[in-house]
Amino acid sequence: MSLYLKSAAFTPIENITHLSSGNLQGAFGEIGKLILEQSCRVLESISPELRKEIRRHFICSTMIELPFTTGAITECELNPIEKYQGVPDASFINTYECASWGYSLRYYLRQKPDTRYVIVSILDVNVLDLSFWQSNENWGKSGFGLCTFLLEVESFHKDDISAGCTVTYNTTPEFATVIRKMATGRDELTISLPFFPENIRQIFTKLLSGFDKLPDLHGRWGHCFGSDPWLNIISHGVTGGFSQRKKILACSIALNGYYCTAEVCVDQHSAFYLSEAV
């Protein structure tokens, strides 16, 4: 296994909007500080010397697009001036929605296969307080928050991370079929799926019957977009669920059909953090 999940954290974000913060700049000022604090916590699992080797920090999002495209916010808001030493500047990506983290990792690691560590954040916050994002028939109740994870690249093989787009209108069944092909014959693999309500989840239940899966946590968290598979791993990890080395297939799918997967390894030495809501 070539990708090791060194550490991961999730913080629910329930109370940061342009209204509560006075304006968008104020909201993103709070979010920028949160990104910095969470990144520092995740990076504590490696030495200051190793942190200096990290060149990229991807911030991926499904819903935070409008403030950037209108010019109301820039990447500067995601990179506070008071940066701590060893925390790389962040770049923002939302092109592939929930699957943006996989596309970003695949591209970067193919370009830089000798990379040792890479850090990724997934940020989905309803800063504009839009009703569309509160709940939707396509995913049920939404959950908002910030997830950050640090991967140690022991070696990189092109199949470790996959990214693609469904070719039919039946995106969820097609996505489940793709995962089934990946997991067939891999009894050591545990699947971590997006969170969906029962009417959608039953598709995975049917098509992935017999495969080892982490439990769906939609009832607790709602649909947290690209964070879902990582939040599931974190939730399992903070309760001591990884007493020995385990291979996990993290899976995400976007409403527009983009999907991605990453096969990562976790064990009792992986660090997991689950914070109180802000």
pLDDT at position 34, please?
A: 94
Residue 87: pLDDT over 90: no
The answer to whether residues 109 and 184 belong to one domain is no
Please report the pLDDT score of residue 86 as a whole number. 60
Task: Give dist(CA 60, CA 37) in Å, integer.
Answer: 17
The predicted structure's pLDDT at residue 1? 45
**CA-closest candidate to residue 116, choices 88, 150, 93:** 150
* 194 shares a domain with 84: no
Higher pLDDT, 88 or 246: 246
- Verify that 135 and 34 share a domain, yes or no: yes
Q: What six digits make up the tokens of 159?
A: 């199949």
User: What are residue 3's DSSP bridge partners?
Assistant: 153
Alpha carbons within 13 angstroms on the beta-carbon side of residue 197 total 10
189-205, pLDDT tens digit by residue?
Answer: 999 999 999 999 999 99
pLDDT single digits (tens) 206-239: 999 999 999 999 999 999 999 999 999 999 999 9
Tokens of 217: 């946590």
Q: What angle do CA 83, 74, 105 make, to 5 degrees?
A: 75
Q: Among 90, 118, 153, identify where a domain stops.
A: 153
For residues 141 and 207, state if they share a domain: no
Instruction: Note whether 20 and 128 are same-domain residues.
Output: yes
Last residue of a domain, one of 126, 153, 180: 153
| pLDDT of 79 higher than 90 | no
249-269 pLDDT, tens per residue? 999 999 999 999 999 999 999
Predicted model pTM: 0.94
Number of domain units in the chain = 2
Q: Are residues 102 and 165 in the same domain?
A: no
What's the CATH code of the domain at 197? 3.40.47.10
Query: 126 and 187, same structural domain?
Result: no
Mean pLDDT, the chain, integer: 92
Give the H/E segment covering residue 43. Answer: helix 24-43
Q: Residue 192's domain spans which residues? A: 159-274
Distance CA 15, CA 213 (A): 32
Task: Calculate mean pLDDT across residues 110-114.
Answer: 89
Checking if the pLDDT of 103 tops 90, the result is: yes
Same domain, 122 and 175: no
| CATH code, domain with 125 | 3.40.47
39: three-class secondary structure by DSSP: helix
Is the domain of 60 the same as that of 91?
yes
The confidence band for 66, taking pLDDT boundaries of 50, 70 and 90, is confident
DSSP labels, 143-202: --EEEEEEEEES---GGGEEEEE-SSS-HHHHHHHHHHHHHTT-TTEEEEPPP--HHHHH
Residues 147 and 26 in one domain: yes
170 and 123 in a common domain: no
- The residue out of 110, 130, 153 marking a domain boundary is 153
Residues 181 and 139 in one domain: no
Beta-bridged to residue 251, according to DSSP, are 261
Q: What is the per-residue pLDDT across 36-54, written as a single tens digit (0 to 9) for each?
A: 999 999 999 999 999 988 9
